[in-house]
């Protein structure tokens, strides 16, 4: 995936992770920026805290492709040129993530408003839905949105995420040097003389690696030891099952 695809996946992951607060905000007809309150778990601050780690080469790509370039020079004032570029890229990526998340939120909100209007048009009068009815409407909007995507990221800390990490770690240990690539980054170098035709195990791992990063995009670019560390911290009660 490229930079813009990564940003979209991170935004989707955030929406899924905080689905209940997002639904509540939409039902209450709030803008995304209004969710930065205690009642909504300060979602704006949580989103801004999303960490990005860029190499110098990554930073160059981000600066070139980002849509919300950070211009506050005070954020990197006094840094060496290379470090300044990386810091600028990090803040620019955070800006893009906020804009993309807001865009998805507004799409879901528009779907909810349109669904309510359709119900009123069908009945020929304004209706007052109770909390249960509103919940059913917003749940249907989310189901439709999720159905439009090939893969929906898993919620952090869910059993599904645990199982996806375990499968990736197991298979990662079976592919030799190819297991040294970060999550979502494995590829076959033609110079190695490997390919799908003569190494089905590696081919299966490549497919798994590409699929897993879509399920848990917040771990994209993490090396095996970093994924294992995340697993141990997030799923400590399951440590006996660590692969």
Low-confidence ranges of the chain (pLDDT < 50): 189-198, 241-243
pLDDT at position 223 is 92
pLDDT at position 225 is 93
- Residues 174, 155: Cα–Cα separation, whole Å: 27
pLDDT at position 195 is 42
- Residues 10, 100: Cα–Cα separation, whole Å: 9
- Residues 98, 34: Cα–Cα separation, whole Å: 13
pLDDT at position 240 is 53
List pLDDT tens digits, range 84-138.
999 999 999 999 999 999 999 999 999 999 998 888 787 776 777 888 889 999 9
Q: What letter does residue 179 receive in the DSSP assignment?
A: G
User: Could you tell me if 213 and 150 are in contact, meaning their C-beta atoms sit under 8 angstroms apart?
Assistant: no
pLDDT at position 75 is 94
pLDDT at position 239 is 61
pLDDT at position 197 is 43
Single pTM value for the model:
0.70
pLDDT at position 194 is 41
- Residues 191, 113: Cα–Cα separation, whole Å: 55
pLDDT at position 153 is 86
* Sequence-distant (≥ 6) Cβ neighbours of residue 22 within 8 angstroms: 15, 35, 43, 105, 108
User: Could you tell me if 185 and 224 are in contact, meaning their C-beta atoms sit under 8 angstroms apart?
Assistant: no
């Amino acid at each position: 995936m490229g930079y813009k695809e990564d940003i979209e996946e991170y935004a989707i992951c955030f929406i899924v992770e905080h689905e209940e607060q997002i639904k509540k905000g939409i039902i209450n007809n709030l803008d995304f920026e209004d969710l930065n309150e205690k009642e909504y778990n300060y979602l704006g601050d949580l989103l801004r805290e999303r960490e990005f780690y860029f190499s110098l080469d990554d930073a160059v790509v981000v600066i070139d492709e980002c849509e919300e370039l950070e211009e506050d020079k005070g954020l990197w004032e006094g840094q060496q040129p290379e470090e300044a570029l990386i810091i600028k890229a990090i803040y620019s990526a955070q800006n893009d993530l906020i804009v993309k998340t807001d865009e998805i939120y507004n799409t879901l909100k528009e779907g909810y408003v349109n669904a309510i209007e359709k119900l009123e048009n069908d009945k020929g009068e304004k209706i007052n839905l109770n909390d249960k009815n509103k919940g059913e409407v917003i749940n249907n909007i989310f189901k439709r949105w999720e159905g439009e995507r090939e893969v929906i990221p898993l919620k952090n800390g869910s059993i599904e995420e645990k199982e996806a990490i375990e499968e990736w770690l197991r298979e990662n240990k079976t592919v030799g040097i190819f297991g040294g690539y970060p999550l979502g980054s494995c590829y076959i170098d033609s110079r190695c003389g490997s390919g799908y035709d003569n190494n089905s195990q590696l081919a299966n791992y490549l497919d798994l690696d590409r699929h897993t990063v879509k399920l848990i995009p917040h771990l994209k670019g993490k090396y095996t030891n970093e994924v294992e560390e995340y697993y141990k911290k997030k799923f400590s009660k399951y440590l006996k099952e660590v692969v």
